[in-house]
Structure 1
Amino acid sequence: MAEIAISKPAVRSHRRVNFIIQGVATMKKEITKEALALKKLREIKGLDRKQAGVLLGVSFKTIEKFENGRTILTRPKITQILSGYDFSWKDLEACIDGKSEQIESRFVAKKPKVIANNHLRRSYKKIITKEVKTLTVLRQLKGLNKYQASRECGYPKCTIGHIENGRIEMSPKRIRHIVESYGFNMSDYEYHLKSERFVTEIQEECMTIIKELSEEKLKAVHPLLSTFKS
């Protein structure tokens, strides 16, 4: 049987067609019941996609992909989203089962202020409570930067930054989750919360004083400081 010769342009054209077909396949939406339920929870929370993105530390387009079936929603990813919205798996399952009224009946959505302009966003009043400052202290005592802390909590990388900047309202459930993710317990949290001065502030003040000491004074206080080593 004679072989059929295929010219190089024909091969390239064939490959291009295959590439286009594959691209179309990847663009195919598969909106799962979980994606629909997450969208419903976002709406119950009173958030648009941009605001949801701020909570999760992602862009509004990423939220759109979650809800439109363009991103595979793994269990860890769903857990992150639920945590960001301050809902539980039980809430998600209720939405999937068509029982979202149960959630709506106990949840009063608060519509956050929308700030479309980045310049205005930076000047927007931040509410940094003592609770938030206490969480910052615990993170610093743990030796974590904000990205590492977000990872420890199972959050997107910018979430802790948003929390410490006062851009996310903190519920007791979220506070407990962060505290325990840092390896502390609520007693540790309450201790620092009730302190007149945060230990990290005292540490910074001591370091400033030490840096300003002359060599002679530094040598004089060094023996005393050495006695406090554990």
Structure 2
Amino acid sequence: MTKPKSKQNVKKAITTDHLALRELRLECGMTLKEAGAKYGLTSKGMGAIENGRVSLNHEKIDAITNSYGLTYLDFVKAKRLIEKGAKRRPKRTFVKTVLKNSDRRSYQKIVTKECKVLRSLRRIKKISQDQASAMCGYSRPTIGHIENGRIELSEERIRHIVKSYGYKFSDFKDAMEKVELRDTIVDSCLEKIDQLDDTKLEVVKNLLGSL
């Protein structure tokens, strides 16, 4: 009669999936404890994942990357880099640096013109952030992070979002050239209209009707 395997005898099977998740955590400047707090595990639990003691599927990987404020696309890119350099990449030595929240990209708010244009394109088509999440394959918080400048935007990611919204990349480039974006102009006009008295509002209504 064979004895059942104990949990301590679970063999490590470290794949590029496990290595990619480790790379993403390190890029975010997080310890295992900090990553576990975001995902809902202990530091040992996160260590077990990165050490190949836990099998991974798309759903689990997506949940972990989203908890880091990243996307599944970030994971794919990290995995590709590892696969390309697996045979020639020297072993890296990491110097542990304690970062303040203000030092981490997910805690910084750097609203670039690209962020504003992506938000504008979404609003022009009256797409909510929840709908954008489904269209792009990103989590709802990730869409917010992108528009609020908390996630660095690569051209690949921008192209993906623009295409998901039903635009051409040339539409994005045209918007980047504009001094003021359409949605902000509309917001400004609506704000001024809302402050008009009834007499002036009637004049504006007639004026708009003649256009």
Q: How would you bin the TM-score normalised by the shorter chain?
A: 0.5 to 0.7
Alignment equivalent of 1:210, drawn from 193, 197, 208: 193
Q: Name the structure 2 match of 1:220.
A: 203
**TM-score for the superposition, normalised by structure 2:** 0.65
Pairwise CA distance, 1:137:
0.8
Larger Rg: 1
Report the identity percentage. 30
Instruction: Write the distance in 1 (CA, Å) between the matches of 2:208 and 2:14.
Output: 61
Instruction: Write the distance in 1 (CA, Å) between the matches of 2:170 and 2:153.
Output: 18
What are the ranges of 5 or more consecutive residues in structure 1 without an aligned counterpart? Answer: 1-23
Pairwise CA distance, 1:146:
2.6
Instruction: Write the distance in 2 (CA, Å) between the matches of 1:222 and 1:32.
Output: 66
**TM-score for the superposition, normalised by structure 1:** 0.61
Judge conservation of contact 2:115–2:147 (CA < 8 Å) in 1. yes
Judge conservation of contact 2:114–2:176 (CA < 8 Å) in 1. yes
Number of residue-to-residue matches in the alignment:
187
Alignment equivalent of 2:100, drawn from 92, 115, 120: 115
What are the ranges of 5 or more consecutive residues in structure 2 without an aligned counterpart? Answer: 1-5
Instruction: Write the distance in 2 (CA, Å) between the matches of 1:212 and 1:29.
Output: 69
CA RMSD of aligned residues (A): 4.3
Map 1:25-174 to 2 at 5 A. Answer: 33-42=15-24, 45=27, 47-48=29-30, 59-61=38-40, 64=46, 67=50, 70=54, 72-74=56-58, 81-85=71-75, 87=77, 90-91=80-81, 93-94=83-84, 98-99=86-87, 101=89, 114-116=99-101, 126-174=109-157
Which amino acid is 2:100 matched to?
A: I
Ranges of 4+ aligned residues in structure 1 off by more than 6 Å: none
Pairwise CA distance, 1:225:
1.3
The C-alpha deviation readout for 1:78-120, integer Å capped at 9, x for no partner, is 698541347166446447xx44729x9xxxx9x9983359xx9
The C-alpha deviation readout for 1:142-171, integer Å capped at 9, x for no partner, is 222333323321112211211222221111
Instruction: Write the distance in 1 (CA, Å) between the matches of 2:31 and 2:136.
Output: 22
Judge conservation of contact 1:134–1:193 (CA < 8 Å) in 2. yes
